[in-house]
Amino acid sequence: MADIKIGTTVSRNDLSAILTIFRLMPEQGNKFPSYNAGQYIALRREDCRLTKRLVGEDGAIRFVPDLDEQGNQKRGPVTHSYSISSAPFETAEKGWLEFYVILERDESGNPGRLTESLFRMDAEKDNKVTYFYKITGDFTLEKRAAGFKNIVLVGTGSGLAPFASMIKQLHHDALHGQSTDARVTLFHANRGLHELGYHRELTEIEAAQKFDFLYVPSVSRPSKEDYANPKFGKGRANNLLRSVFHMSLKEEQDLQLLAAQRQETTQAKKVVERTVRPVLPRHISHDRLLARMKPEKTVILTCGNPLSMDDINYIAVANKIKFEKEEW
């Protein structure tokens, strides 16, 4: 078992009420292990609000607060693995690891046990995070994209984290004479512009063109101001990718399936009506993207929302493209 150490949160940047980027310094007198872009580490907080697993009469599983004899919710340690969003060179030079984290919620709206505690952190007072002295995982370009000319990265929400690490490391390597021959395309979608983590840095890396990199940012819940901004795409990442291949929306496909099965379609029609139609950033054309995704030379890597990843898998299979996803 990996050693357990206690790190210190040294900065926190809240992009919204449910999305934050924070930096963690290692335990005093230690360094974090070396790692490759795309890997993850297990973090733990000691004061998480605990839950217990219940199985209903219908067999459905749900989690409810675990209460003590006085009716108070018990607290204790909870561990979860998080992809590292800092690049290896950043950790080597500055010491910290960086994380791009969302406040998870269950079907009842209750916050995730560990993320609730992480979002309660105070950078000056309550700033300790336990970590396991082991960075692991094979969701790396070396493992998942070796031999491919076209690498397409699709991050939904905080699923950008491993890709932010990869892109920053590729840029750093290129600056030091180790440029990749691959063409790298990154799709990232989040609810609003303010939640597009690392947007400025990714835009600067794209503009520098030290390696062949195309950045496709999108907002899934655009405001009027967002619609007026031509630099950003509109719609969810999976639907944006569908639009590149001239496929129908995921929601339209679901509706068509229900209709073919002669099932009730009223709710599905409402979902289609509410769905944001995919629009690419004005400076990026479908033809340009298709040229970067020739099936026999392309691999699609995705991380983020499980349902979106499943649909991106469907898109890849439908277009005979190699597919890889982050999971542990």
Rounded Cα distance, 191 and 30, in Å? 38
Residues 211 and 198 in one domain: yes
- Give the CATH number for residue 123: 2.40.30.10
pTM of the model: 0.94
pLDDT at 327: 84
Residues 64 and 145 in one domain: no
Beta-ladder partners of 186: 153, 215
Residue 312's domain comprises 141-325
Residues 116 and 151 in one domain: no
Domain end: 136, 161, 193, which one? 136
Cβ-contact 15, 194 below 8 angstroms: yes
pLDDT tens-digit profile, the chain (328 residues):
579 999 999 999 999 999 999 999 999 999 999 999 999 999 999 999 998 888 877 878 888 888 888 889 899 999 999 999 999 999 999 999 999 999 988 777 778 899 999 999 987 889 999 999 999 999 999 999 999 999 999 999 999 999 999 999 999 999 999 989 999 999 999 999 999 999 999 999 999 999 999 999 999 999 888 888 999 999 999 999 999 999 999 999 999 999 999 999 999 999 999 999 999 999 999 999 999 999 999 999 999 999 999 999 999 999 999 999 998 6
Domain count, the chain: 2
CA torsion 190-320-249-216 (nearest 10°) is 30
Residues 59 and 112 in one domain: yes
pLDDT at 118: 95
Residues 90 and 181 in one domain: no
Residues 176 and 65 in one domain: no
Residues 287 and 231 in one domain: yes
Residues 297 and 181 in one domain: yes
Residues 307 and 288 in one domain: yes
Residues 240 and 119 in one domain: no
What is the secondary structure of 54-101 as a DSSP string?
A: EE-TTS-EEEEE-B-TTSPBPEEEEEEEEE--S-HHHHHHH--EEEEE
Domain end: 136, 151, 183, which one? 136
Domain end: 104, 136, 168, which one? 136
- Give the CATH number for residue 285: 3.40.50.80
Residues 109 and 40 in one domain: yes
Residues 165 and 260 in one domain: yes
